[in-house]
Amino acid sequence: MSGQGAGAPAFFPPEIVVEVKALACELPKKWGLPFSRLSHADIAGEAVARGIVGSISGMTVWRWLSEDAIRPWCHRSWIFPRVANFAEKAAPILDLYQGIWEGEPLGPDDYVISADEKTSIQARKRIAPGIPPGPGRRRRVEAGYKRKGALAYMAAWDVRRAKVFGICTDTTGIEPFHQLVDLVMCQEPYRSARRVFWITDNGSSHRGATSIRRLRNWYANAIQIHTPVHASWLNQIEIYFSILQRKVLTPNEFEDLIELQQNILSFQTYYEKVATPFEWKFTKDDLARVLTKLASDEIIERIAA
């Protein structure tokens, strides 16, 4: 490091910059530090402690890391594949989203339904009225509330037609799922369709091979496809649930279960009028590349061990 005169910024050789960036890409526990994540000041301090530089400011570290969009003070959650045949189980679903089944294009009388349940939706009556937003003021919602019960919302999303169906129930289970299936399958065009593919997870309402047989017994043209374990992101209904959560259920401010149910079903009606099919671009080839990268990084092997 050398100065360029009074007040001039310090000069650091490129190899120092690279070493500090590499330091930022390590986990704090590798350093033996009691941090869950690192700030640019932490990284600057550790660079000095290791003798990489004699002195350096946190702002300089922040500027270097910004060049490569490295942000060790941020994190996101993700789930490792839990089953060895993840790709095998996920591929048919990803193909259906591309309009393909067993290597052949879907026909005009084939339909793809994504279904699941959103459980334990509470109705929270706030102990004081909320305050609407105003100039320079956010909306305010009282933190204290009284629980006015909870319900479950079972919904189905037509992937290709952007149609949504749903019922509110006291609980989930085989019978509520049967009601949802009836709601869809008793209508045209599904009643007379050649095939109706039902994408679900392995929840208790529709689990395993028994559920596949049961659905086929209910409706001969219905074919159930299960997502792999811990792969809710493969089920497009979860996208609709996230929209519902943001637009209707947050903040949670309802007088009772009647108002909660009315709002959920009213939003369902509204959303169907403006909805278009989700633009799903992730294919089984993309999945293969991700799984190959995970394997090359030996992440799956380390987790399994």
The pLDDT tens digits of the residues spanning 192-206 come to 999 999 999 999 999
The side-by-side arrangement of strands in the sheet containing 163-169 is: 163-169, 145-158, 110-126, 195-200, 222-226
Q: Vertex 214, ends 192 and 97: CA angle to 5°?
A: 60
The per-residue pLDDT for 81 is 80
Whether domain 86-129+143-284 has CATH 3.30.420.10: the reply is: yes
- Let me know: does 78 contact 231? Beta carbons within 8 Å: no
Q: Give 86's contacts (C-beta < 8 A, 6+ positions apart).
A: 228, 231, 291
Handedness of CA 239, 241, 247, 251 (dihedral sign): negative
Q: What is the pLDDT of residues 251-270, one digit of tens each?
A: 999 999 999 999 999 999 99
Query: For residue 270, what pLDDT is reported?
Result: 97
Hey, where are the domains in the chain?
14-67, 86-129+143-284
Extended strands (E) in the chain: 100-101, 104-105, 110-126, 145-158, 163-169, 195-200, 222-226
CA 124, 239, 228 angle in degrees (round to 5)?
Answer: 110
Condensed to tens digits (0 to 9), the pLDDT of residues 20-60 reads 999 999 999 887 888 899 999 999 999 999 999 999 999 99
Of residues 8 and 52, more confidently modeled = 52
Query: Cβ–Cβ contacts within 10 Å for residue 93, how many?
Result: 23
What is the bridge-based pairing of β-strands 100-101 and 110-126?
unpaired
pTM over 0.85? The answer is no
Q: Which residues contact 12 (CB under 8 A, 6 or more apart)?
A: 1, 53, 56, 60
Nearby residues of 111 by Cβ (< 8 Å), 6 or more positions away: 158, 160, 161, 189, 190, 193, 195, 196, 197
Tokens of 5: 């005169």
In this predicted model, what pLDDT tens digit does every residue of 108-162 receive, in sequence order? 999 999 999 999 999 999 999 999 999 999 999 999 999 999 999 999 999 999 9
Buried b (16+ CB within 10 A) or exposed e, 53-80: beebeeebbbebbeeeebebbeeeeeee
Structure confidence at residue 4 (pLDDT)? 44
